[in-house]
Amino acid sequence: MATLPKVELHLHIEGTLEPELVMELARAGGITLPYRDADELRARYAFDDLQSFLDIYYENLVVLRGRGDFAQLAHAYAARAHEAGVVHAEVFFDPQAHLVRGVPLVDVVDGLVDGFEQARAEFGITADLIACFLRDRPVTEALTTLDELIALEAPIIGVGLDSAEVGNPASRFAEVFDRAKRAGLRSVAHAGEEGGPDSIRQALDDLGVERIDHGIRSIDDPLLLSRLADQRTRLTICPLSNVHLNAVADIASHPLPALIEAGLHVTINSDDPAYFGGYIDRNYDVVVDAFGLDDEAVAALAHNAVDASFLPDTRKREIRTRIDEWLSVPESGAVPGRLRW
Ligand code: ADE
Ligand code: ZN
């Protein structure tokens, strides 16, 4: 059965650190961990909310110390993403989470580039990097991190904003995003994951971002919904993440169908697949099953991601053709269903 070609736009490379790789890197680096094996670590992956996940996510980073570790992480994600049909990914990384541990930024960036270059040669998958600022850390730290990225001429295409949303308003980071834009960078921000509609408005109005990561709480505000539909704001939705972090009660009550009905431009992504039970293919599968999407609806979601990407037009055209080829082959995978465009 052919695999739908996909573009992934919401993926934290640190969130692809599988328990087996945590153990392997710990062993290789002589790092002692408080659990015996990967199963024991995985058993801790039951989260109440975003913060309880972030606590473990940051804790596990202790095993990422050198350029080679980051290369291995990037390559492992790219290999798995390739299997899932991903042909291009715009990949988040958290520079501050490594800088505060004393890991030089150049090693993080060079390692990720090494891993993705190797994967491109092997699988043809392409990746661009987006540096995210941690909204629960000082703005001054975000500014110096941005300056360091620019001074290094790090090959990033844009900046993002992530970590704990509630209590850490996006508006504080206006100067950071302004400086990034003046440096020619694209911009995105997490908003409306746990925070309400105002959090989304701040990301749009105070940071001027081009995409909203998550944005599911826009469903609570009809005025905001109309605005997002009218201005074609792209949302990067992560269904399994929302379920695992209790942002929604279960997949059946996810607002995805309602957002589509409201005319929003939504995409499907995996967020932190090592923690939330699956990569992008599984995220597509769960929404196909839960909402009875037919092949055309699934291809429309894949097209949305191409449109929402920061890729040049030539590459967008190439991927659109591959999606249309997938759709033209009968029995390509998704079940016939109700939800159509
Ligand atoms: N960092 C990694 N995953 C995240 C998420 N789902 N929300 C906010 N920050 C994150
Ligand atoms: Zn995220």
Ligand 1 atom having least distance to the Cα of 238: 6
Q: What is the Cα–Cα distance from 238 to 190, expressed in whole angstroms?
A: 11
Query: Which pLDDT score is estimated for 329?
Result: 85
Query: With 80 as the cut, is the pLDDT of residue 91 above it?
Result: yes
What crossing angle do the helices spanning 174-182 and 139-151 adopt, rounded to 10°? 10
Considering the chain, what is the average pLDDT of its residues? Answer: 96
Task: Name residues whose C-beta falls within 8 Å of residue 315's C-beta, 6 or more positions apart in sequence.
Answer: 88, 126
Query: Which pLDDT score is estimated for 199?
Result: 98
Query: With 80 as the cut, is the pLDDT of residue 332 above it?
Result: no
Query: Which pLDDT score is estimated for 2?
Result: 85
Structure tokens of 23?
């153990």
What residues does ligand 1 touch, defined as CB less than 6 Å away? 12, 15, 50, 57, 162-163, 190, 193, 241, 271-272
Catalytic residue among 14, 193, 210, 296: 193
What mean pLDDT comes out for the span 30-55? Answer: 97
Q: What is the Cα–Cα distance from 127 to 215, expressed in whole angstroms?
A: 23
By percentage, how much of the chain surpasses pLDDT 70?
A: 96
201-239 tens-digit pLDDT: 999 999 999 999 999 999 999 999 999 999 999 999 999
Task: Name residues whose C-beta falls within 8 Å of residue 48's C-beta, 6 or more positions apart in sequence.
Answer: 246
Each domain of the chain, given as residue ranges in start order, spans: 6-326
Query: Which pLDDT score is estimated for 340?
Result: 47
Ligand 1 atom having least distance to the Cα of 162: 9
Q: What is the Cα–Cα distance from 195 to 247, expressed in whole angstroms?
A: 10
Going by pLDDT thresholds of 50, 70 and 90, the confidence category of residue 1 is low
Query: Which pLDDT score is estimated for 336?
Result: 45
- Using alpha carbons, select from 86, 90, 69 the residue that is nearest to residue 78: 86
Name the residue of 92, 190, 194, 213 whose CB sits within 8 Å of the most ligand 1 atoms, as the mutation to test its pocket: 190
As a 3-state breakdown, the chain gives helix, strand, coil percent values, each rounded to 5, of: 55, 15, 30
Query: Which pLDDT score is estimated for 338?
Result: 46
What mean pLDDT comes out for the span 56-69? Answer: 98
Q: Tell me if residue 193 is catalytic.
A: yes
Query: With 90 as the cut, is the pLDDT of residue 337 above it?
Result: no
Residue where the block lists tokens 């949302």: 235
Ligand 1 atom having least distance to the Cα of 193: 7
Would you state the CATH architecture of domain 6-326?
Alpha-Beta Barrel (3.20)
272-294 tens-digit pLDDT: 999 999 999 999 999 999 999 99
Structure tokens of 249?
């009660």
